[in-house]
Amino acid sequence: MALRAVPHVEGGSTAGIETGSTRSKFGMVEDEVARCQEIAEDHPDAIALAGLHVHIGSQMTDIGLYVAAAEVVAEKAAAIKARFGDDFRHVNIGGGFPISYVKYNDQSPDIGYFHSDLEPGDVAAKVVPVLEGKLGADIEILTEPGRAMTSDSGLLLTRVEGLKRRDGTTWLYLDAGYNIIPESAFGWYFHMVTANRTGETNTDRFRVVGPLCDSIDVYFDMEGEAKVQELVDAKPDWAGDRALLEDKLVHMPGYRELPAATTSGDLVAILDTGAYQLELTNHYCGRPRPGAVMVGEDGSVKTIRRAETPADLWRGEEG
């Protein structure tokens, strides 16, 4: 058995994927960890307390957060190891290692935690000495690379279904919305390129949206932008602090820079969708899920999930 403790480390990403504080549903606080140790001690023939686990969240770009979590693990694990001896064999420091969803540092002032130069090796170089210093070199150290391992292994090709112009802004309507990229609905950024216009250098800014019947089906932070405007309307004196409000409440750039000639029928590649997105696709608004192909190192293409048909929408229904 391994215990998952609350490391009381937070910050660095969006609250919905921070897992290191008591605001999160995960882990046990000190008295709960102590009680589990008592239970394990009372039942040595049934329970072997073998490890300690923490997790601080996902897409954490501040290496100091990993070090802080490692210090918590090292202290707690040393006490448990002293109590349970050789039964205690490993610590798990979690994961959440970030990737660079934004490809250029100067692309937008709103990149926040969507850009990072932090590599898993950088984390290891800082946290392993902390753990080994308290627990010895024989301790097994586990980690969970998560999106850092798989995100850049996949991309989504979506077609521009239509466009319109409003108040000098061009809106692009894609055939993939949050039924295909669910994380976009709660403020996650994915880089886009117009795949059939990669050589074009004349660019423009677009509002990019999906095809679904909700206003939240957009590739910008609809909720965050609305909250800022509501606050400024309620407190006109806050208008001078609008930049600060946007920094705290708006998590994605409002516009995407794409080739200016991007139009209906073009293919837009949404990058770094190899983590979570394929598994999260759904039938919302009666739209069949897309297929998936794998490209081999030799350039071969293999279908690994067929595209659905309308018949798949009612498969399993009765009556």
pLDDT of 76 higher than 90: yes
Distance CA 264, CA 163 (A): 7
Which part of the chain is CATH 2.40.37.10? 154-220+255-310
- Assign domain 2-149 to its CATH superfamily: Alanine racemase (3.20.20.10)
Kindly calculate the radius of gyration of the chain based on its CA atoms and give it in whole angstroms. Answer: 24
pLDDT of 109 higher than 50: no
Q: What is the pTM of this model?
A: 0.88
**For the segment 117-150, what is each residue's pLDDT rounded down to a tens digit?**
889 999 999 999 999 999 999 999 999 988 899 9
- Other CB atoms within a 10 A radius of the CB of residue 235 amount to 11
- pLDDT for 22: 84
CATH class entry, domain 154-220+255-310:
mainly beta
- pLDDT for 105: 54
Q: CA dist 122 to 71, 72, 107, 126, 153, Å?
A: 16, 19, 25, 7, 21
Mutual orientation of helices 63-84 and 120-135 as an angle, nearest 10°? 30
**For the segment 200-258, what is each residue's pLDDT rounded down to a tens digit?**
999 999 999 999 999 999 999 999 999 999 999 999 999 999 999 998 888 888 999 99
**For the segment 269-305, what is each residue's pLDDT rounded down to a tens digit?**
999 999 989 999 999 999 999 999 999 999 999 999 9
Which part of the chain is CATH 3.20.20.10? 2-149
